[in-house]
Amino acid sequence: MNKNLIIVLSFFYLTANAQSTFSEVITVLENNGCSNGYCHGGGAGGFSLSGSEQEIYDNLVGVVPTNEAAASRGDKLIDPGYPERSFFYRKINQDLYEDSKLHSGEMDAMPPSGTLSKVDRELIRQWIYFGAPIEGKAFSDNVKEAFTEFHEEGGIEADNPPPAPAEGEGFQVHLGPFFLKPGDEIEFLKKHSLKLDEDLEVNRISAFLHPFSHHFILYKFRNQEVSDAKTDAMRVVSLSGENPFGTATELVAVWQTNKDFVLPEGTAFKWEKESVLDLNYHILNYSTNNVLAADVYFNVYTQPQNDDNKEMFSDLLLNTGIFIPNDGQETIHSGEIGFNGPINIWSVSSHTHKYGKDFDVYLEDENGEKGVQVFEGKFNFDYTVYTDYYDYAHPPFREFDKFLRLPSSQDLIHEAMFINDGPENVNFGLTTNDEMMITALLYTRGEDHQELAEFNELPTTVCITDEPFELLKNYESGAIGNGVIGNHFHPDFAGIGSHVILVNCCKGNEVKEFIVEVVPYTDLDLSFSIDNNTNPPTLYLDPVEISGPFSIQWYLNDQAIPNSNSDVVLAEQDGTYSAEIIIGNECPARTQSQSVGDVSGISEQNMIPFTVSPNPFRDRITVSYELDRTADVELRVVDLRGKLVDNKYFTNQVSGPNNSSFNLDVAPGAYFVSIIANGEVLGMQKILMLR
């Protein structure tokens, strides 16, 4: 081929592939009824596609609409970064997105024939989200391919919009959807101007995240000067570039799953009229074969200004110096957290990535060491149940209805434990293949603003087998220390030993402290024998010398067997047996557990990746599995005899990773969980319910 011809063809190829997104937008409009001099209403009041590309852009972007209703809202024909505030986009949105429908007085949608495809409408919407640039590609070819495939072939859809606050009670913000191919990941920042009419007090914020969301963080710019320096377009984050942990913003709140932040009475976030938010959204498409459309909504609830209300503040406290070798061993990192002036902590939470196995926060003692523990990572999300494992994707969120008071001289220590069983060493970083160590706090500043709690009469010595007991009068929380959950002390969670419990911490002579000693079982050489020659088998408590009165209690799967108070009992059911002797006021002595019976032919099997956590469990399990196709799924739970005890149905679950969590109300003991997809058993695992 002629060399000159090759050069010419190469030029045309590069030119075609370097077409700007705005040129694509113009082509879409020309192909859908705007090829004449005017469209969007026609005549002098319409939008003109005549002239150069620059002239078309200048007539469209940042221009006040001639429509009075749209202009009165403060909207533009195209408002870069805000499709829902772009009157031109709302005219072509049709029924694609609820947040971009036309308002009263804004006339009919365009084009009248409704021929504009979903892909074309999405192209314009994403162009606006990415800043509506005149030159270059607003977004990557990967993004365009993703939303094209989604609208033409389907994929994992965004959630339905949640109800917005009632008129006069607040407002709703919607971000997205954004489109990711299977396995893709993105984290970005998005400036969001509130356009408030007046200063506001915010007493509640509710966020609604797509299940594939890694996190959503709400920031507020510190002042108008720093917000003006940022574009309204999406900004992809990096530690060296658009860093979400910069000094230009202050934290409002962070979410890793849906949560309703209802601030305590007498407190509020205080947002000035000029306030501008910065939205940090991190999404990972866990699917192996479906495009993801992910978005986030959050509702902001407001209240009248009141100078007596204390302002709520937030902080993300980072330990960026972490290094976790991929040796499969425990790696522990810790650091001090200090504050300028006294604060009153309302809530504590944490954040790691997939290698995080525990996260704890302590008061620093007078020697600079870990003192009383104020946050334990191995709790459920609501901080009501100890789970014995750290769920990094849904870490616990602890609230103090009695604020945790920290004077200027008091610091915190946070400590995280990681186990890296991955392919390489990791450091602090932003992707899900990196790691993080972050403590999140919500607090007020200055002197305390709540009444002091009062103690009940409390025991100083308890057995590890004793039931939890109440700590405070008329409070849901307010005490801190090992074994404290809400307003109760749990001996079995605290463990054997002495435990310091603090109330009204840490305000000088107003702090109240008591020590409770958790003591173990009585030290007796206690055991029992099994006679399998009888039907059913007979259990005999082995002889032991005891002085004084005592009583006997037998247990099956850690549940007391009624009327089993002699040294002999029949094992009428398969399961795990133990016996207990109670001597006067001493803690009981218990035998080791022994199993009786067979599993009746049930065995574990796995045909797909399948886990159940936690295992053992107490009241709730999460079943994680990966489907190779969309299917109707049944999760079935049976006992050791194969009797059905519970089941859950899920229709049209998508292929790829799935997670289903539910309460399992069963007696302590062993059970089997099976996954059945479209009638086919894909896996079965044994689980154990603890008392």
Q: What is the pLDDT of residues 336-370, one digit of tens each?
A: 998 888 899 999 999 999 999 999 999 888 888 98
pLDDT tens digits for 558-574?
888 988 888 888 888 88
pLDDT tens digits for 124-168?
999 999 999 999 999 999 999 999 999 999 999 988 899 999 999
Q: Can you read off the two tokens belonging to residue 471?
A: 């700590």
Give me the pLDDT at residue 640, please.
63
Domains assigned to the chain: 19-139 (no CATH), 170-310 (2.60.120.310), 314-445 (2.60.120.230), 461-518 (no CATH), 528-596 (2.60.40.10), 605-689 (2.60.40.1930)
pLDDT tens digits for 590-628?
888 888 875 344 455 667 888 898 887 888 899 999 888
Least confident window among 179-188, 452-461, 462-471, 670-679: 452-461
pLDDT tens digits for 290-302?
999 999 999 999 9
Better pLDDT: 674 or 274: 274
Mean pLDDT over each residue of the chain, to the nearest integer: 86
Query: Measured between alpha carbons, how far is residue 496 from residues 124, 387, 389, 508, 517 in Å?
Result: 64, 18, 20, 29, 8
Give me the pLDDT at residue 14, please.
39
Give me the pLDDT at residue 252, please.
94
pLDDT band at 445 (very low <50, low <70, confident <90, very high): very high
pLDDT tens digits for 415-429?
999 999 999 999 999
Q: Which of 48, 92, 100 is nearest to 73 (CA)?
A: 100
pLDDT band at 2 (very low <50, low <70, confident <90, very high): very low
pTM, whole model, 2 decimals? 0.72
Least confident window among 12-16, 398-402, 662-666: 12-16
Q: Which of 299, 300, 274 is nearest to 221 (CA)?
A: 274
Give me the pLDDT at residue 3, please.
41
Q: Does residue 8 have a pLDDT over 70?
A: no
Separation of alpha carbons 226 and 230, rounded Å: 7
Residues 188/176, Cβ–Cβ less than 8 Å = no
Give me the pLDDT at residue 231, please.
94
Give me the pLDDT at residue 11, please.
35
What is the rounded average pLDDT of the residues 274-280?
95
Q: Does residue 15 have a pLDDT over 60?
A: no
Q: Does residue 17 have a pLDDT over 60?
A: no
Helices (H), 53-198: 53-58, 68-72, 87-93, 118-129, 141-153
How is 341-409 classified by DSSP, letter by letter? S-EEEEEEEEE--TTEEEEEEEEE-TTSSEEEEEEESSB-TTS-SB-SS--TTS---EEEEEEEEE-TT
What is the rounded average pLDDT of the residues 462-470?
86
pLDDT band at 507 (very low <50, low <70, confident <90, very high): low
